[in-house]
Amino acid sequence: MSGERGRWAAEVAAIGLLGPGLSNWTQGREVLRGSLPYHSQPTAIPTSTALPPAERRRAVRVVNLAMAVGFEATAGQAADLTDLPTVFASSVADTRTCDELLRTLATPERSVSPTRFHNSVHNIAAGYWSIATGDTASYTMVCAHDGSFAAGLIEALSLAATTQKQVMLITYDLDYPSPLREQRPIADAFAVAMLLRPKAAAGAICQLECALGAQLVTKLNRPELESLRLSAPAARCLPVLELMANGREGSVSVEYLDSLSLAVTVKPWV
Amino acid sequence: MQPVAITAITATSCLGAGLRATSEALRAQRSGLAPCNFETVQLDTYIGQVPGIDERSLPSEISDYECRNNRLALLGLKQDGFMAATARAVDRYGAERVGVFLGTSTAGMLETEIAFRSLDANGMLPASFKYAGSLDFYSLASFVRKVLSLQGPAAVVSTACSSSAKVFGMARRYMQLGIIDAAVVGGVDSLCLTTMYGFHSLQLTSPVQCRPFDKHRDGISVGEAAAFALLEVMGDSNVPGTLALLGVGETSDAHHISSPHPEGAGARSAMQAALADAGLPASAVDYVNLHGTGTPSNDGAESKAVEGVLGTEVPCSSTKGYTGHTLGAAGALEIAICAIAVSDGFMPSGLNCTLIDPECRINYLRSLGDAGPRVALSNSLGFGGTNCSVVIGRLK
- Ordered by where they begin, the domains of chain B are 4-394 (3.40.47.10)
SS3 B314: coil
- Out of B173, B254, B383, name the one closest to residue A131 (CB): B254
Using a 10 angstrom Cβ sphere, with 0-12 exposed, 13-18 middle and 19 or more buried, the burial of residue A190 is buried
Cα-to-chain-centroid distance, residue A94? 14
Helix (H, G, I), strand (E, B) or coil at B11: strand
Catalytic residue among B36, B67, B261, B291: B291
pLDDT at site A2: 42
Question: A33 to chain B nearest CA, in Å?
Answer: 32
Contact B119/A at CB under 8 A: yes
CA distances from A231 to A206, B96, B338 (A): 26, 29, 44
The number of beta carbons lying within 10 Å of the beta carbon of residue B60 is: 7
Contact call for residues B259 and B297 (beta carbons, < 8 A): yes
CB-based contact (8 Å) between B131 and chain A? Answer: yes
Alpha-carbon separation of residue B265 from A136, B158, B192, B304, B361 (angstroms)? 9, 22, 31, 9, 16
Q: Which of B14, B36, B67, B161 is catalytic?
A: B161
* A-chain residues near B145 (CB < 8 A): 257
Strand ranges across the sheet with B46-48: B34-35, B46-48, B222-223
**Which chain A residues are within 8 Å of B251, Cβ to Cβ?**
136-138
Phi, psi of A89 (to 5 degrees): -135, 125
Crossing angle of helices B330-344 and B19-28, in 10° steps, is 70
Domain boundaries, chain A: 12-205
In angstroms, rounded to a whole number, what is the distance separating the alpha carbons of residues B333 and B319? 10
Q: Considering CB atoms only, which of A103, A122, A134 is closest to B158?
A: A122
B325 among known catalytic residues: yes
B221 close to B294: Cβ distance less than 8 angstroms? yes
Query: Which residues of chain B make contact with A106, given a CB cutoff of 8 A?
Result: 113, 116-117, 119
SS3 assignment, position B19: helix
Query: Alpha helix (H) ranges present in chain A?
Result: 25-33, 53-58, 61-74, 95-105, 114-119, 124-133, 148-163, 180-183, 223-229, 238-246
Question: Of residues A7 and B167, which shows the higher confidence score?
Answer: B167
Determine the Cα–Cα distance for residues B92 and B275; give it in Å rounded to an integer: 31
Contact residues, B window 268-307, toward A, CB-based 8 Å cutoff: 269
* pLDDT score for B54: 83
Q: Which of B325, B338, B360, B388 is labelled catalytic?
A: B325
What mean pLDDT is predicted for residues B36-58? Answer: 94
- Say yes or no for a CB contact (<8 Å) between B257 and A127: yes
Q: Is B161 a catalytic residue?
A: yes
Find chain B residues with C-beta within 8 A of A184's C-beta: 131-132, 135-136
CA distances from B55 to B96, B226, B368 (A): 33, 17, 35
Question: What letter would DSSP give residue B115?
Answer: H
Q: Note the Cα B55 to chain centre separation in Å.
A: 24
pLDDT higher than 70, residue B143: yes
Establish, for the pair of chains A and B, how many residue pairs have beta carbons separated by less than 8 Å: 197
The DSSP H or E segment spanning B139 is helix B139-147
Q: Mind listing the pLDDT tens digit for each residue in B58-76?
A: 999 999 999 999 999 999 9
Q: Do the chains contact at B142 and A145, CB–CB below 8 Å?
A: yes
Contact at CB, A5 and B383, closer than 8 angstroms: no
User: How remote is the C-alpha of A36 from its chain's centroid?
Assistant: 23
Tell me the nearest-neighbour CA distance from B162 into chain A, angstroms. 10
At B234, give phi and psi (nearest 5°): -105, -15
Using a CB-CB distance cutoff of 8 angstroms, which residues of chain A are in contact with residue B331?
none
Residue B291 catalytic?
Answer: yes
Find out whether B125 and A179 touch, Cβ atoms under 8 Å: yes
Q: Which residues of A133-167 are buried (b: 16+ CB within 10 A; e: fewer)?
A: bebbbbbbbbbbbbbbbbbbbbbbbbbbbbeebbb
Partner residue facing B266 (CB), from A6, A121, A136:
A136
Question: Of A5-14, B6-15, B165-174, B320-329, which gets the smallest average pLDDT?
Answer: A5-14
Q: What's the pLDDT score for residue A3?
A: 46
* Rounded average pLDDT over B343-354: 97
Q: How high is the pLDDT of residue A124? A: 97
Dihedral, CA of residue B170, residue B272, residue B327 and residue B386, to nearest 10: 80
Phi then psi for residue B170, to 5 deg, are: -60, -50
CB A127 within 8 A of CB B244: no
Burial (0-12, 13-18, 19+ Cβ within 10 Å), A243: buried
Largest CA distance in chain A: 63
Mean pLDDT of B7-20: 98
Bridge partner list, B155? B101
| Alpha carbon of B179: minimum distance to chain A alpha carbons (Å) | 5
Closest by Cβ to A145, choosing from B116, B119, B138: B138
Contact status of B82 with chain A (Cβ, < 8 Å): no
Rounded Cα gap, residues B252 and B266, in angstroms = 6
pLDDT beneath 70, residues of chain A: 1-6, 270
Q: How far is CA B253 from CA A139, A140, B265, B276, in A?
A: 10, 13, 7, 19
DSSP A158-213: HHHHHH-S-EEEEEEE-PPPTTHHHHS---S-EEEEEEEESS--TT--EEEEEEEE
What CATH architecture is A12-205?
3-Layer(aba) Sandwich (3.40)
Question: By the CB < 8 Å criterion, does B155 face chain A?
Answer: yes
Q: What are phi and psi of A209, to 5 degrees?
A: -130, 135
**Chain A partners of B196 at a C-beta cutoff of 8 Å?**
none
Nearest by Cα to B187 from B384, B333, B388, B6: B333
Q: What is the 3-state secondary structure (H, E, C) of A112-133?
A: CCHHHHHHCCCCHHHHHHHHHH
Q: Which residue from A8, A91, A137 is facing B136, i.e. has the nearest CB?
A: A91
Q: Which residue of A has its CA nearest to B388?
A: A138
Rounded to whole angstroms, how far apart are CA atoms A204 and A266? 12
Contact B155 A158 (CB under 8 A): no
Is residue B129 less than 8 Å (CB to CB) from chain A? Answer: yes
Average pLDDT over residues B381-389: 96
